[in-house]
Amino acid sequence: MSDARVLHVDIGYDANRTVITVAGSPQAVFASVEAGIRMAVKKIDMRDQIGEHPRIGAVDVCPFVALSGISKGDLRAAVEKFAERIAHELGLPIYLYAQSAHHPGRFSLFDIRKGQYEGLKKKMNEEEGIPDYGPSSFNPVFGAMAMGVRDLMIAYNVHLKTTDLPIARKIAADLRGSGRWMVRNGKRVQQAGRFSSLKAIGWWMASYGWAQVSMNVMDFRESPLHEVYEAVSERARAYGIAAQGSELIGLAPEEALKAAGNFYARRAGESGELDEDQWMSYAVRGLGLDRLGSIDLRDRIIEYTLRS
């Protein structure tokens, strides 16, 4: 693939943000990303933006993933040059994160987003809040942006049959790698959650009428989707409620969804090799991915969209 192509667009109304997945040659992807950033600069005013999802700017985060045709090292170098140029030409504050991070405290997007857009002005007046590229003065219209190279990640939300937001937040803390802060023997200590490579928050989805556990699965082999869904379900029952399906935000790798399909097929008593339609059907039903309406996994799997 040489030209850049939009593989998927996911619009979240309660989150009030859009996730756009683009693939192609490095040169084509950089050109497409630049066009998108320039349009965001013209069209989006963060002073009017309100949403459930944590964010720091009009283009909150711009991740790059090396799928093929370029090494991670070469991609990191290219992203740094791109970030430096865009920051200079458009006057945008850019923080390098993940595998592109220059500072240990900026590896995690969660850390960069602390204080969110509303706290940026104060943050940028402090030494640890100075961006890697671009002006260190607060831009109230655009905000700031995180950019960097990372591995494949799955954005995955589980619906809860409750309007009780604190329960969603408790479940998120039970499962995410960072866990929660607790006081033991008079000292504040951090208790890790069940999945070391999982990031999770609880939030309220007004348009759905229920709370969710919203997650980033940073390593789907260490934290398989079906294990994550079953763990949310188990913790929900412990709090007296139930999980009621889930949703993918953007795309996911075939391996992750096929593993889920096989898991739920074995639970149903199936044995032997499953064909494509079978494992997809079990994955959809087992994870409850059709809770919000019918879904064709062929449209949500990275490998399939790249081939189409």
**Which residues are catalytically annotated?**
53
Own/partner pairs, 254-257, CB within 8 angstroms, 24+ separation: 254/301, 254/302, 254/303, 254/304, 255/220, 255/221, 256/154, 256/217, 256/220, 256/224, 256/225, 257/225, 257/283, 257/297, 257/300, 257/301
Alpha carbon of 225 to those of 56, 109, 119, 124, 302: distances in Å? 28, 21, 33, 37, 16
**Amino acid in position 102:** H
Is 43:127 a contact under the CB 8 Å cutoff? no
* 126 alpha carbon, distance to own chain's centre: 27
Looking up tokens 């309100």 gives 50
Nearest in space to 223 (alpha carbons), one of 156, 298, 276: 156
Pairing of strands 154-160, 187-191: unpaired
For residue 145, which amino acid is it?
A: M
Q: How far is CA 147 from the centre of its chain?
A: 13
8 A C-beta contact, residue 22 and residue 33: yes
Distance CA 86, CA 77 (A): 14
**Tokens read off for 229:** 């869904």
Q: Round to whole Å and give the CA distance between 288 and 273.
A: 22
Q: To which H or E segment does residue 249 belong?
A: strand 243-249
